[in-house]
Chains A and B, each alone.
Chain A
């Protein structure tokens, strides 16, 4: 790796960690039970919204009511996004006259955006009208992220409240996340992105005449308009000059800002943030990259603040970094080393002052290697899923890192809100294991962890694992599943494993060679995304409800402190062991086999 690789990774992590405290403190103030400077500013508009919707802001919801509100609101969201796609030809703001999206693809996309996954089976610039993008997809970008934050805040209240019946008010938590956190940050990021060249307009696509016309071969047609065939029955091709280039337009920046901040990841254009109109410069890339981990990292501090012991928040952030940094280094080293199969073709892959070198297939020149690998690691550590390089073309080890980060359950930063409540489930499991070792009833943050809480936490930990393993097995056995593969051999298996891992952990990134916009894949992944999101939310709220009702246990000599390096190590080990034990066999069939094969073929001199 080059010096600049280290510099850019170091700068990114330094800026991220510096922002944790100010933003985390701000978020904690938003959800504080006492009115403060932050909540007073928007109090008027908040009251207006609640009156309009018939919401009583002081209603304290029990966990079941809170969960029911989450489910109703999100399922309604699924239905709206579905309807918008099916009806878009008859609705306004469709200058390219796109037709209705197919039923299975609409279902998949609706679930995908409502669950904060933002898996995309379609190509944005050739499928979705501006109206669908704005009223459907962009709105879900906000409210699915806000839902994640709201649920996390409710779970934190489960730890911080004592002998309480309620977890707060979902409507208030949702509204405040959206109005005070996501909206202002998005507007700020939008302007920064536009200054760098991200498009933001409502114009139709623009035809320009290219400097040099290109020649493409198209099937030749006879007078009747049927394809002509030669004697062997192959379609005859004829050269056609293409002299124009159609530049896509649209309100991209405003949507990109929230897709990064809300760990959504659904791009405005097909290739997401690799598209120069979506991510035009290294600075826009840095800002988008920062936005991926910003809120998930800051929420750790919010957690510490709200439970009254900031060290608890820092120790969870430490667990995330302890796992994140080595994986980032591994991914970067693998990609910077390049593709051994190209080495003897007369290609120069060495890093030098004049080029980034490395495995540049599927990567953009302005980002080079290191900005592509920071992104790949961050976007899969968080459940963002946006990409600025094509993960399908990563080296076997470079591609293993993002896949495994998703399989760890999206708790290394994870989705906004959902990452941290997932990590809290792991923390509960970790203190339980520690309790078993010393033969004492485990406690976490002054609450006794008993059978019910353990059941809910285990459910939250194991459900995504089960979905990945079962979903991949179904895909491998079904002809319609295997039909989507683009690359032969072990890499083809990786494509399927990656897709199901991505959906079952609400990430949304892809080994994009897989042709997943088919009824089989749309339905399978749609089910995985739905089950990975809502049952898990209910389990976590149930655990929080039980915890809130408990009394506070004062710390004693037998209490395991949960802010020490010892606990950080223990928790990191639990996360890794669950992830490794569950997925090592599957990974061995995919990226590990491919890595061995590429080493093998070189030693044979192929």
Chain B
């Protein structure tokens, strides 16, 4: 019994050093060497300062920006420090109420648009930090953004296409549009009248 206890203690110590210290250090060293940009959060910089991560969404409510997925994080949406979904069950009345409010807000920002609202635009994401929306959600908002910015729909469509990713390797996941990168591109000063 005592011998087993000593062996337990020593082996736990040795395996702690191997899996708890050497392994994460080796993993960090290798990652920083081979993929430094990704390992440090895929940051986007504007004028030399980080304005966000390409992987973490931000909250947009201004009609001139594309809006992302509703976020259930607290106290403010897209609080990257406290990721969270709504955890509302499908029959919870709070879910239907929240969806109703979101539909109303979208319609108020774009009164002429009577198309049905794509579901991802009115349902909270799992992380509360979803950086992307479906192509349908981008199309739904396209005319509103173009109008608010005095741009043609074709100009905005070109940018949307630029920040759309297809299925990875042609089969995995879903096609999607990165909201923060798209909005940053919309804010860029336009040259040559384009």
**A residues near B40, Cβ cutoff 8 Å:** 199, 201, 203, 249
How many Å from the CB of A175 to the closest CB on chain B? 7
Kindly state the separation between the CA atoms of A80 and B95 in the bound complex, as whole angstroms. Answer: 42
Kindly state the separation between the CA atoms of A123 and B84 in the bound complex, as whole angstroms. Answer: 9
In this complex, which of B19, B58, B60 has the most chain A Cβ atoms within 10 angstroms of its Cβ? B19
Would B55 and A135 count as touching, CB distance under 8 A? no
How many Å from the CB of B22 to the closest CB on chain A? 9
- In chain B, positions 47-89 with a C-beta closer than 8 Å to chain A are 49-62, 65, 69, 75-89
Would A205 and B81 count as touching, CB distance under 8 A? yes
Would B118 and A276 count as touching, CB distance under 8 A? no
Would B16 and A341 count as touching, CB distance under 8 A? no
Nearest residue, chain A, Cβ from B120: A360
Interface size bracket, B side: 35 or more
How many Å from the CB of A122 to the closest CB on chain B? 12
- In chain A, positions 557-606 with a C-beta closer than 8 Å to chain B are 594, 597-598, 601
Kindly state the separation between the CA atoms of A126 and B85 in the bound complex, as whole angstroms. Answer: 16
Please tell me if B171 contacts chain A, counting CB pairs below 8 Å.
yes
Would B125 and A197 count as touching, CB distance under 8 A? no
Mask, A10-53, CB within 8 Å of B = 1, is 01000000000000000000000000000000000000010011
Would A69 and B8 count as touching, CB distance under 8 A? yes
**B residues near A283, Cβ cutoff 8 Å:** 168-169, 172-173
Kindly state the separation between the CA atoms of A363 and B125 in the bound complex, as whole angstroms. Answer: 5
Kindly state the separation between the CA atoms of A65 and B5 in the bound complex, as whole angstroms. Answer: 12
| Contact A53 B14, CB 8 Å, known A245-B56, A346-B103 | yes
**Residue B11 contacts which of A73, A202, A253 (CB distance < 8 angstroms)?**
A73
Kindly state the separation between the CA atoms of A258 and B28 in the bound complex, as whole angstroms. Answer: 14
In this complex, which of B16, B32, B54 has the most chain A Cβ atoms within 10 angstroms of its Cβ? B16
Would A274 and B8 count as touching, CB distance under 8 A? no
**Residue B24 contacts which of A138, A194, A355, A366 (CB distance < 8 angstroms)?**
A138
Would A197 and B133 count as touching, CB distance under 8 A? no
**A residues near B38, Cβ cutoff 8 Å:** 194-199
Would B82 and A8 count as touching, CB distance under 8 A? no
| Contact A210 B168, CB 8 Å, known A338-B119, A513-B87 | no
| Contact A598 B90, CB 8 Å, known A76-B8, A355-B135, A362-B85 | yes
Would A138 and B20 count as touching, CB distance under 8 A? yes
How many Å from the CB of B60 to the closest CB on chain A? 5
**B residues near A190, Cβ cutoff 8 Å:** 27, 30-31
Kindly state the separation between the CA atoms of A249 and B53 in the bound complex, as whole angstroms. Answer: 11
Interface segment out of the listed A318-326, A386-394, A435-443 = A386-394
Kindly state the separation between the CA atoms of A403 and B184 in the bound complex, as whole angstroms. Answer: 42
Would B116 and A72 count as touching, CB distance under 8 A? no
| Contact A178 B15, CB 8 Å, known A245-B52, A365-B125 | yes
**B residues near A347, Cβ cutoff 8 Å:** 99, 103, 116-119, 122
Kindly state the separation between the CA atoms of A125 and B38 in the bound complex, as whole angstroms. Answer: 19
Would A249 and B41 count as touching, CB distance under 8 A? yes
How many Å from the CB of A308 to the closest CB on chain B? 31
- In chain A, positions 39-84 with a C-beta closer than 8 Å to chain B are 49, 52-55, 65, 68-69, 72-73, 76-77, 80
Mask, A176-197, CB within 8 Å of B = 1, is 0011001100110011001111
Mask, A148-192, CB within 8 Å of B = 1, is 000000000000000000000001001100110011001100110
**B residues near A72, Cβ cutoff 8 Å:** 4-5, 8
Please tell me if A110 contacts chain B, counting CB pairs below 8 Å.
no
Can you offer 13 A-B residue contacts whose CB atoms are under 8 A? Answer: A76-B8, A123-B83, A171-B11, A178-B15, A183-B19, A195-B35, A201-B40, A206-B43, A211-B180, A254-B27, A347-B118, A355-B174, A513-B88
Other contacts beyond A123-B82, A283-B168, A387-B126: 9, CB < 8 A: A282-B168, A342-B99, A354-B134, A362-B123, A364-B127, A366-B176, A390-B85, A393-B87, A513-B88
Q: Which 3 A-B residue pairings sit nearest by Cβ, starting from the closest?
A: A282-B173, A513-B87, A274-B126
